[in-house]
Amino acid sequence: MKRLKYLSTLLVAAVALIAAWLLWNFYTQSPWTRDGKVRAEQVGIHPSGLRQYSAVERNR
């Protein structure tokens, strides 16, 4: 029983250290600006101005 207490404590400490390391890596490797974090799932890009020709048919 005494061994179980020590092993469970070591396991919880190891999981906490791994979680802290992963969070620190996410924080330091993510792009950021002085104002805050920058993240985009989808970014819409479209041409400006009048389109003269489109090779895609309607509703395709």
Residue whose structure tokens are 């009048």: 50
Query: Tens-of-pLDDT digits for all 60 residues of the chain?
Result: 889 999 999 999 999 999 999 999 988 887 776 666 667 777 777 777 787 777 777 776
Q: Is 59 helix (H, G, I), strand (E, B) or coil?
A: coil
6, two tokens: 């020590």
Domain residue ranges of the chain, discontinuous segments joined by +: 1-30
For the entire predicted model, the pTM comes to 0.49
